[in-house]
Amino acid sequence: MARYSFPWFSRTRFRNRNLIYIISALLVVALVVVFIYGRRLSNKPVPSVAERNEEQPIVSLPESKVVTTYVNEKSKAPVVEALPEPEVVTTQKPVDVQPVQPLAAEAKQHDLISVPPKPSTESNPKVTEIIAEAMALVNEKPGRVTEVRDRLNDALLMPMSAKQRAFVKDQLSKLAEQWLFSKSLFPDDKLCGSYKVAPGEQIRTIGERYKVPYEILMQINNIRHPKTLQAGQAIKAINGPFNAKIYRSTFTMDVFLQNTFVRSFPVGLGQPGRETPTGLWRVKQGGKQISPPWTDPDTQKVYRLGDPDYPLGSRWIELEGVEGNAKGQTGFGIHGTKEPDTIGAAGSRGCIRLHNGDAILLYNLLVPIHSLVRVEE
């Protein structure tokens, strides 16, 4: 009798026992799955740092500071500065240069800055012929810009009158606005070409690869900030380095890309007793700065940007002498000025002065170690 007095109790106990069995079985299955999956994970090879970075480059891009935009005192046109390059951490694999290639004859690279122009008081008929042929090629559709550039550039080594030389340089400066200072690319150009950005690559390292400052690459490719550079993007690259030649007798500076004339700038040079030393200089490693403090070597007074009598203007490019009277000389440089009236005159303590806008452009062209500057009479 007592066994059947509480039938609901037996049914409840039976159901509870089944539930415990089911839960226990599920737990066992779960443990087995976790064990097997864990062993597979432990046997999976851990990717290397390079492999992880190849999948997703590590890039750290702090915000850059705003810098002053100067006005070219000669043309009164605003000079837009490239933004400073941020620090970037990346481990991208090296990529091949394409399709711009270095010149085969490295020794011929500095002919025009090493060889003085041949003087002549009379017009050279051969140069007149070259100019006429070059102008005809420019007017063709499409214009043969790089061919004209190379013909006129070769003519600069020939004797010619001052008027002819000035005309040739003026035409080369105008052509440079097309083949160099724009995004345009021309077939078979040994100086400029297209470059495909690799994953994680930064504009600064591309400039180092081609021996040009990253600022000029930003300028010609309309890159407003390094953050906007994207993997797979095709940009225009310049096969550097740029070089310069300064004539003390005319207070002018000629700028070349390798051995090709780009443009001229008026300069101010050292005053009597402190003449700018002749010879060959190069841009010093770490010598390019934006308006750095300057210490007067005579009074030891320190001048900083913002001081009313700060003398260095927009840019400072420090030089080191390597040949001739320049050899072993230090403390000389190329810089902007707060006294534009001294351009074209001997008024400095030996440094080379430029209008502030020209100093910014030259800063964007010359690169430490590789860029040479020759000073001659």
Give the CATH number of the domain where residue 206 resides. 3.10.350.10
Residues 164 and 249 in one domain: no
Token readout for 2 is 């007592």
Residues 371 and 261 in one domain: yes
pLDDT at 268: 97
Residues 257 and 216 in one domain: no
Domain end (from 188, 221, 238): 238
C-alpha 218, offset from chain centre = 7
User: How many structural domains are present in the chain?
Assistant: 2
User: What pTM did the predictor assign?
Assistant: 0.72
pLDDT at 62: 32
Contacts of 30 (CB under 8 A, 6+ apart): none
pLDDT at 33: 55
Q: What is the CA radius of gyration of the chain?
A: 33
* Residue 282 near residue 320 (C-beta atoms within 8 A): yes
Residues 187 and 261 in one domain: no
Give the CATH number of the domain where residue 344 resides. 2.40.440.10
Residues 183 and 271 in one domain: no
Residues 246 and 370 in one domain: yes
Residues 291 and 366 in one domain: yes
Would 298 be classed as within a structural domain?
yes
Domain end (from 200, 223, 238): 238
pLDDT at 195: 96
Residues 189 and 255 in one domain: no
Residues 247 and 363 in one domain: yes
Q: Could you list the residue range(s) of the whole structural domain that residue 158 is in?
A: 106-238
Residues of the chain with confidence (pLDDT) below 70: 1-21, 24-25, 28-112, 141-142
Domain end (from 183, 207, 238): 238
pLDDT at 19: 63
